[in-house]
Structure 1
Amino acid sequence: MQQSPVAQGTVSRFVINPEGDVDGFILSDGSLVHFPPHLGTQLVAAVRPGDAVQIAGFMDGSGDVKARQIVNQRTGQQLFDQPPPRDVPRPPPALRGAGLVRLSAEGEVMRVTTARRGEPDGVVLRNGTVIKLTPGAAQQFVSLLRPGASVAATGYGTRNQYGEALQATAFGTPGNLTRLYSNFPN
């Protein structure tokens, strides 16, 4: 499978989703590269921060890269997007999120993340922390969903060796959070 490169650069840091899966990385120029979280383990085995990579795939409307192939230019290792194996058991819906912990974060927005249709659904802070919002909740905070804005959030997520990410239950500016859901504590 040969695809045309859409981006290349040096991996600055990995990013994770609130469940703790590596599902992307940031290049040194600030570009955000996404790939399926079920390939995160393979990716961190093939690429590490500081490695030069070439990415084939496509750019979405926000300028983020959806990777189909990642090539480590130092080692030549390649990773291809492919569906998860059918025989790998997935946790039942009742157990999804069982390992999440309460987290809080604040800082300066480096990038706005987007959902499938291009609508904002969160931010990546300068320190690499990912704060996810539902697209509906994000619509309440249009003025804060821009690079350079100072934001804060509390919610549930994961902190591990690759980073920190949370699904916000409250979002706003430092010291002024708005509760997003009535059935979650602030």
Structure 2
Amino acid sequence: MTSRLALTAACLLAGSAAFAQLPPAPPHGPMPPPHGAIAFQAGMVATGRVQQWLINPNGEADGLLLSDGTQVAFPPHLSAAMMQMLRPGDTAQVSGWRAPSVPVVRAQTIGANGRSVADQPPMPGMAPPPLRDPGTLVAMSAGGRIERLLYTDRGDVHGVVLADKTIVRFPPHIGAMYGAQLQPGAQLHARGWGTRGAQGTALEATSLGPTADTVREVFGGAGVPWSPRGAGPMPPAAPMMMPPPPAPAS
């Protein structure tokens, strides 16, 4: 009995020591820099007058365009708080992360009008945000002169702002494919799905072209893509191979 008690006590002590050596849970603090960020700048990274909200196709603000061309990116769950704090024409102070030669700041904190909004990680046990209703998206088209390219914080083109301030979004690989045609001053026509609201119009492009008559599907649709960097037509899909018939029973 004595040896059994001694063994039990030794196991408890070993477990307590192992538990004591576990690292503490990370404190609730600022989000870490994005993966692949080249330069982290503490304090103010950008200050300027807000020229335009950058709206995503769901109608949420996920960025700001400053008057000097700096693009400020933040997660869309901060959209309502940002819109309550500032409006176009206000001066914003932004701290966060910025890669060299990329006109995008991944915001950690944005301040304006004596207030500030920070991007914080979710608290333990916090419920996830509700799913978006796809029924709020409508079929849309937009066209005009490209006023500005929109970039990710890695420097990849993932959208444009047209002269009428409409925002056309697409994945970065589409931006790379059509890079020679996506230039400020060039004409662009897009079809896709998005929203129109008081803060702006934005759509996710499913077709692109220099005019309404020359748009082509960008996600594997039929036909020749619109001059993707001089590449030729997309190769035809491989024929579907049918499985051989089962062998007759002997």
TM normalised by structure 1 equals: 0.85
Separation in 2, partners of 1:7, 1:59: 9
Structure 1 residue runs of 5 or longer lacking an equivalent are: none
Separation in 2, partners of 1:112, 1:181: 20
Q: Which amino acid aligns with 1:121?
A: H
Among 205, 217, 220, the residue aligned to 1:179: 217
* Aligned twin of 2:175: 138
Among 34, 47, 60, the residue aligned to 2:73: 34
Query: Given the superposition, is the C-alpha separation of residues 118 and 103 from structure 1 closer, same or farther in structure 2, using an over 3 Å criterion?
Result: same
Decide which moves more: 78-87 or 3-12: 78-87
Decide which moves more: 174-183 or 32-41: 174-183
Show the 5 A alignment for 1:37-48: 37-48=76-87
* Aligned twin of 2:102: 62
> If each structure's helix is expressed as a fraction of its own residues, which one has the higher value?
2
Q: Percent identity?
A: 36
* Aligned twin of 2:120: 82
Decide which moves more: 150-159 or 26-35: 26-35
The alignment partner of 1:67 has SS state of: strand
Runs of 4+, deviation exceeding 3 Å:
115-118, 181-184
What's the CA shift for 1:164?
Answer: 0.8
Decide which moves more: 29-38 or 78-87: 78-87
Whose radius of gyration is greater, 1 or 2? 2
Q: Are 2:140 and 1:100 equivalent residues in the alignment?
A: no
Q: Are 2:165 and 1:151 equivalent residues in the alignment?
A: no
> If each structure's strand is expressed as a fraction of its own residues, which one has the higher value?
1
Higher-RCO chain (CA-CA 8 Å, sequence separation at least 6): 1
Query: Given the superposition, is the C-alpha separation of residues 57 and 21 from structure 1 closer, same or farther in structure 2, using an over 3 Å criterion?
Result: same
Decide which moves more: 60-69 or 22-31: 60-69
